Amino acid sequence: MNMTSTNIKSKTDPDEKVNQQGLSRDERTPGMVAVIGVNAGGGCCGVIPAAPPQQIPGVVQGAAPPGGYLEAPPQQGSSPTSLLYDGISYRIVGFKKLRQLLRPKHSYFEGDYAWIKDFAYYSDGNSQFCYPRIKTRTRNNPYRKSQLRSKHTARTIKKLIALRQSSNLDDFKVAIIVPTFPKEVSEWLSRQPGDRDMVWRLFKRFWNEDFLTLDDDSDGQAAYVNLHKWKTELPTSPHYHFHCFVPNYRLAECGAVQGDDGNNAYEFVKKSWYKQRGGRLVPFSDNILDLLKQRWHSRLVKFARRHSLRGAWMDDWRGIDVFVEYVSWDSDIGKAKLMNKLGYQSRHWVEDYAEYSNKHLDCELPPGWLQGYDNKARVFGWWASLKSLTQGVELEDKEKLSPVDGKPLEFKYMVSLDGLLHLSKGKLGYLEFYKGQPFAGELTKDDIEWLRSVMLPP
């Protein structure tokens, strides 16, 4: 499994730098060019018209390799599923989030009650994955938002799986790039009624004019992008930054095949990544990584001057924070990380606010710049034509994917808590993910009692 991360300025994810509504259809980039044909292996194919507690054992910390990237903890073992064999067969997926979000304590959520009806459980042949089915009194319940986000992420992952299969995209990797806004700019943006439109216009120019021209192998790429306005650990503080999900395949013209209109067809070509000393492939060379940051800095400086903003960061591009990591699809743990990374960037702000306010009951209400924000993704490049690129591939909407390897799960039953405890012989576990890293363990007596307390309406 290849997963590597770097932060040019610091070693922390910008979401951790501290001391809405339902997820609707992704917004598409205006003026998306038609995609005609695709193939991964260098030859053009048929014409396709485009549409306008306990960490799982085996995780060890590696040494940081040269070249600016920090090595992520590699997962030993061929599959995280095989690492779940600890005598626990039935696991509630995301129990920690369930307990934090189902009935948040802050006054902001007064009336947003929810309760568990029963559990749907699925099997991969070895482990049983259990998912709560809930009822809510309002649409604003944080756990409901979390469930909607999970369904949206699963649909996106299914489309990527279909694309890999239909276009034979081997060695599929994703670069995750997080350009951030300085504190002064974030605070100013939070006071502007048109903040979202302003930053998306800035990003679109950055993507088209700066990112796609980083080198001779950059055009034709695609991205799935979310704008976060808030800090994870302090959601009431403005911290504008983008999360960009960029696959390592781009569309390039194939002169050997023409479409019906006589223009050249397009094929998928693997984007060149860079080999470090030791043989590790990373998305950018050191020079290109610096160039990426310099270009983002230049965009921000122009934006700040246009709006009469100042800050010490304007004098040195090294004062701008850009976080880069990558995830490979070449193993089950890589698939789990990719699914969870995409879910992480797609989450609703109210999830973070619920967790924060549970710990700080006297915290302020969500500020106006945050309320009503839906964190809707926007897509760029060939991602806007993902549906047409997977024509002919069956996508089962209701099919549940395994949280650890992305493979389809078999639905078993709907079951009550008592039924689940009976099936598990009283040994009920949990499965969590943090930044794509799996954790597993057994529920305590207190956890079970809490589950009993939320099985009925309050």
Top-confidence residue, 442 or 50? 442
DSSP class of 11: S
At residue 194, what are phi and psi to the nearest 5 degrees?
-105, 30
Q: What confidence score (pLDDT) does residue 33 get?
A: 36
**Percent of the chain clearing pLDDT 90 (strictly above):** 55
Tell me whether strands 378-380 and 27-28 are parallel, antiparallel or unpaired. Answer: parallel
Token representation of residue 122: 């699925």
pLDDT at 261: 64
- At 358 the three-state DSSP class reads helix
The pLDDT of residue 22 is 33
CA angle at 103 for the pair 455 and 141, rounded to the nearest 5°: 105
| Least confident span in 27-41, 104-118, 256-270 | 27-41
- pLDDT of residue 23 exceeding 80, the answer is no
Does residue 253 fall inside a structural domain? Answer: yes
Q: Where are the alpha helices (DSSP H) in 47-182?
A: 95-101, 142-167
The amino acid present at 81, given as its one-letter code, is T
**For 334-361, what is each residue's pLDDT tens digit?**
888 888 899 999 999 999 999 999 999 9
* Residues whose CB falls within 8 Å of the CB of residue 372, separated by 6 or more in sequence, listed in order: 20, 21
Total domain count for the chain? 1
Among 238-247, 387-396, 435-444, name the one with the lowest average pLDDT. Answer: 387-396
273, part of any domain: yes
Q: Centre a 10 Å sphere on the Cβ of residue 420 and count the other Cβ atoms it contains.
A: 19
**pLDDT band at residue 437, thresholds of 50, 70 and 90?**
confident
Domain around 75 = 3-453
Task: Grade residue 87 by pLDDT with cuts at 50, 70 and 90.
Answer: low
Mean pLDDT score of the chain: 81
**322-328 and 173-179 beta bridge pairing:** antiparallel
pLDDT at 15 over 80: no
In a domain, 214, yes or no: yes
Pairwise pLDDT comparison (34 vs 370), residue with the higher score = 370
Domain presence at residue 293 = yes
Say yes or no to pLDDT of 250 above 70. yes
Three-class secondary structure of residue 174 per DSSP: strand
* pLDDT confidence of residue 176: 95
- The pLDDT of residue 28 is above 90: no
Q: Is the pLDDT of residue 77 over 50?
A: no
**406 within some domain:** yes
In a domain? residue 458 = no
Question: Is residue 141 assigned to a domain?
Answer: yes
Q: What is the pLDDT of residue 397?
A: 62
Q: Which pLDDT score is estimated for 4?
A: 37
Residue 337: its pLDDT value, please? 85
pLDDT (tens digit, 9 = 90+) per residue, 379-411? 999 999 888 887 766 666 667 888 888 888 999
Residue that wins the pLDDT comparison between 61 and 355: 355
pLDDT tens per residue across span 290-306:
999 999 999 999 999 99
Q: Does residue 231 belong to any structural domain of this protein?
A: yes
> What pTM did the predictor assign?
0.81
